[in-house]
Amino acid sequence: MFFGYKVRKCRAKEFRGRPDDDPVKAEYWLQNTIRVFEEIVCSLDDYLRCDVSLLKEEAYNWWSTIVAVVPKEKITWKFFQSEFKKKYVGKWKLDKKKREFLNLCQGNRSVAKYEREFVYLSKYAWEIVPTEEEICIWFEEGMNDETKMMIEGTGIREFVIFSDPAQKMEEVYNKKMQRDRQNKESYKRGSSKSFSALPAKKSKDDFNLATSMSERLNKNKVTQPGYGVSIRPATSVGSVQNAHKPKC
């Protein structure tokens, strides 16, 4: 099979469906095959055939059983995904992801990050948002009020470009905030330098004053006879009273 060859050439991995396989691993396998199919550009029928060709051992036996009891017209790519997720990802996880989608809001996320998470979770709730218009409406409902204002009045109902105006305006806003922070930090650093320069000037003045006093003192020693090299300071009353007696 031509597509089967191209799928393997794009490094699509086989899936064996062993009992100890992690549900997350099964989901990653399905996502990876979808990425490969989009890369080689094939139809949905080819998606199904190629995915089945990658099933081995227990996984292939499972699918053979499904095909044997389900009418042929119902065997579609969407049906395969649904049954595969039920079997290897688990209904509990599908329900959990659906609840996450229902509760998803932008919150503190950027528009781009909110969009990525929305697209990922919407795959588990395709029956809730079956059309592109409903996807756009649901996506807008989860946006912050500030973000909604950015796209208000655009009338866009193509999801692939729906959030573009909001992302562009958000980028401009973030750049402005960054400039404001940088200006504020520069002002703080300038103020800090001015403040730190004051003690240095004071220390220099103190040093000059001490030097001047020392010079005057030395001058007095030389001009007054009878004084030695050093001048003994007068003993205060307090210093005598506070002196410790020598031990006997």
Lowest mean pLDDT among 32-41, 109-118, 135-144: 32-41
CA angle 23-28-30, nearest 5°?
Answer: 100
Within this chain, do residues 107 and 85 fall inside the same structural domain, yes or no? no
Per-residue b or e along 120-155, where b marks 16 or more CB atoms closer than 10 Å to that residue's CB:
ebbebbeeebeeeeebbebbbebbbeebeebbeeee
pLDDT in tens, 169-203: 888 888 888 888 888 888 777 766 665 555 554 45
Within this chain, do residues 68 and 24 fall inside the same structural domain, yes or no? yes
Within this chain, do residues 17 and 53 fall inside the same structural domain, yes or no? yes
How many domains, in total, are found in the chain?
Answer: 2
Structural domain for 81, as ranges: 1-89
Within this chain, do residues 74 and 4 fall inside the same structural domain, yes or no? yes
Within this chain, do residues 107 and 182 fall inside the same structural domain, yes or no? yes
Within this chain, do residues 175 and 118 fall inside the same structural domain, yes or no? yes
Q: Is the pLDDT of residue 209 over 70?
A: no
pLDDT in tens, 81-96: 888 888 888 878 778 8
Q: DSSP code of 230?
A: S
Domain edge (last residue) among 34, 64, 89: 89
What's the token pair of residue 67? Answer: 């095909």
